[in-house]
Amino acid sequence: MLEVGTKAPAFSLPDQNGQMHSLEEYRGKKVILYFYPRDNTPGCTKQACGYSQLYPQFQEKGAVVIGISKDTVASHKRFEEKQGLTFTILSDPELKVIQAYDVWKEKKNYGKVSMGVVRTTYLIDEDGVIIKANDKVKAADDPAKMLEEV
């Protein structure tokens, strides 16, 4: 996991509509950047819906929410439509940003070891510096916790 106080790695990725987004375009705003394993799974859905419900409150505080997973743009679009999501989700199938933010790790599931995205949330300040980093994320609690942090 990246350390608090370090510069957040720059990125440019497509969202659920195929439009490109870069970290640079959010300068001057706080950014909640959260990495999640997969669209339409129970934990990821709870987390995304929580962020979606609280999104107006994040906006009031001058913050944006961005989710990133290795799912495709098309998968993100289905996830957005099915769940009624109101924020940006970025597609990183090549794992460039996922690896830059150090969230691609060995995971154990029922004794089986595989590589995957470890659910992680970063809070990035207006100048692009990481001010909060959490890799012990409880999907359902994360949105409310991050709203308090902003």
pLDDT in tens, 76-135: 999 999 999 999 999 999 999 999 999 999 988 888 899 999 999 999 999 999 999 999
| 3 state SS of 82 | helix
Cβ contacts of residue 18 below 8 Å, gap of 6+? 73
Positions marked active-site? 44
Cβ contacts of residue 7 below 8 Å, gap of 6+? 128, 129, 130
Instruction: Give the predicted TM-score (pTM) of the model.
Output: 0.95
DSSP β-bridge partners for residue 143: none
Angle between helices 73-83 and 42-60 in degrees, nearest 10:
70
